[in-house]
Chain A
Amino acid sequence: MNVSMTVNGEQVSGDVEPRQLLVHFIRETLGLKGTHWGCDTSNCGACVVLMDGQPLKSCTALAVMCDGHEIRTVESLEVDGELDPIQQGFHERHALQCGFCTPGMLMTARALLDENPDPTDQEIRTAISGAICRCTGYKNIVSAVRWAAEHEAGAGARSADRSSIGRAPQQELQSEA
């Protein structure tokens, strides 16, 4: 079957078997290997992408079900060499070790901040409760999402804030570091 959808702002299409999962369409057909293929049972959240702005476990959706929809993968976060605040937050707060869960964590957190720009730690923990990280113990991930929230307050402030990204003021590293 022919499917076409928007992936990271670009119209793409491909001929797929109806049984092909979205994660394999993204990774194999489109060659976007940033999306990780993890537990295959919708438990781990490594394969999360955004469909029409909402996080979706791409191992539990058929590519044909996404025909006509808008998909966003982790590759869309960095623009012209500039990291998205959520990526920068993971860097600043050392929110990954092996990195396997990171693409799903980033997209899940990106969707959270798009909907709720100033989440509490509890709201962050709830939002990422469908994503499993075996390295960090989550503490630094929560801290990274907070960092991103603090550095993109409002669309207007966002571009201005970007100029300060990378400086990592020491006072932000707090006691949990």
Chain B
Amino acid sequence: MQTPAPFEYERATSVDGAIAALERLGAEARIIAGGHSLLPMMKLRLANPAHLVDINDLAELAYIREQDGEIRIGALTRHVDLLKSELLAERFPIFRDAETVIADPVVRNRGTIGGSLCQADAAEDLSAVCSALKAQIVIRGPGSERVVGMEDFHVGPFTTAVGAGELLTEIRLAVRPGAGSAHEKVERRAGDWAIAAASAALWIEGGLIAEAGIALSAVGMTTIHLTRAEELLRGKQPSDDLFAEAGEIASADCSPSADGRGPVDYKRHLAGVLTQRALRRSAARSLHQEA
């Protein structure tokens, strides 16, 4: 039987209350939301928090809305709600691509976007999605709030910019013209982690790529931000040849390890192919030419 080590449990009744609890309980306290990453880690004793602060009652953290030129997603928004949101599907269809293939429907009823990002598992999909979209992450601490870009959010494997006593509260995505985005994933079977996955976003204005975002899952110790490929795309006309070149960069710039899901050369190849496909679909969506 897998059982977590003993811990103390309390339920937060407000965001301020959750932050106050984290401050009072110290570095051995952890937030629990959906629990579908943290509880398995605790069962394996890979994580042994002394205190859990349950934020599932904080309905004020569960929302998807458009405000001040941004899509704002509350940290407690569950995968199922990201999947079903028509607003997100219209603005950033990459979310529906990803959510269709994240775990399974039962797990998606519980897991949250805040939990996925804070888990910072390199194989997790939403970290790559938010990286490609160049999301801004709102982190609240005692009496203060700061905003961190996705490029600074992952500081290492399973480690984020969220500090002790802090709570990720919101994900912000700028709404700009000409956006197209897509997520491509290959997995061994339904509901599994990716062998490799690629998230892409393009903002095409006047026939040229004004901005590009690309990130990879499961082919490195952290989510891989393909900054070299993004640089290549900026200012260029979208074309299959250009995307093939970006794919080659993806194959070169990832750092997969061999495991039960495949050898290194296969994963590098896959990362390149998926990057190309995600870029092609992003461009087609931006230009409203999706087949």
Tell me the A residues contacting B by CB distance below 8 Å.
1, 17-21, 40-43, 45, 48, 54-57, 60-62, 64-65, 67, 108, 126-127, 129-131
**Mask of B6-20 contacts with A, CB within 8 angstroms, 1/0:** 111101000000000
- A-B contact number at CB 8 A: 74
Contacts of B265 in A (CB 8 A): none
Q: Say yes or no: A65 contacts B106, CB within 8 Å.
A: no
User: Is the CB of B191 closer than 8 A to any CB of chain A?
Assistant: yes
Contacts of B291 in A (CB 8 A): none
CB closest chain-B residue, reference A48: B106
Min C-beta distance of A90 to chain B, whole Å: 18
Interface residue count for B (Cβ, 8 Å)?
Answer: 29
Q: Say yes or no: A130 contacts B54, CB within 8 Å.
A: no
Contacts of A43 in B (CB 8 A): 191
User: Is the CB of B52 closer than 8 A to any CB of chain A?
Assistant: yes
Contacts of A55 in B (CB 8 A): 105-106, 109
CB closest chain-B residue, reference A112: B105
Majority-rule SS of B interface residues: loop
Contacts of A18 in B (CB 8 A): 6-9, 52
Determine the distance from Cα of A48 to Cα of B107 in the docked complex, in whole angstroms.
Answer: 10
Q: Say yes or no: A129 contacts B39, CB within 8 Å.
A: no
User: Is the CB of B288 closer than 8 A to any CB of chain A?
Assistant: no
Q: Say yes or no: A56 contacts B109, CB within 8 Å.
A: yes
**Mask of B197-216 contacts with A, CB within 8 angstroms, 1/0:** 00000000000000000000
User: Is the CB of B110 closer than 8 A to any CB of chain A?
Assistant: yes
Q: Say yes or no: B9 contacts A56, CB within 8 Å.
A: no
Most buried by B among A48, A60, A64: A60
Min C-beta distance of B173 to chain A, whole Å: 27
Query: Out of A20, A57, A62, A127, which one reaches B107, CB within 8 Å?
Result: A57
Min C-beta distance of A41 to chain B, whole Å: 6
**Mask of B81-111 contacts with A, CB within 8 angstroms, 1/0:** 0000000000000000000000111110110
Determine the distance from Cα of A117 to Cα of B52 in the docked complex, in whole angstroms.
Answer: 38
Sorted nearest first, the 8 A-B pairs with minimum C-beta distance are: A130-B104, A18-B9, A130-B106, A129-B190, A19-B4, A55-B106, A40-B2, A54-B109
Determine the distance from Cα of A48 to Cα of B43 in the docked complex, in whole angstroms.
Answer: 18
Q: Say yes or no: B32 contacts A65, CB within 8 Å.
A: yes
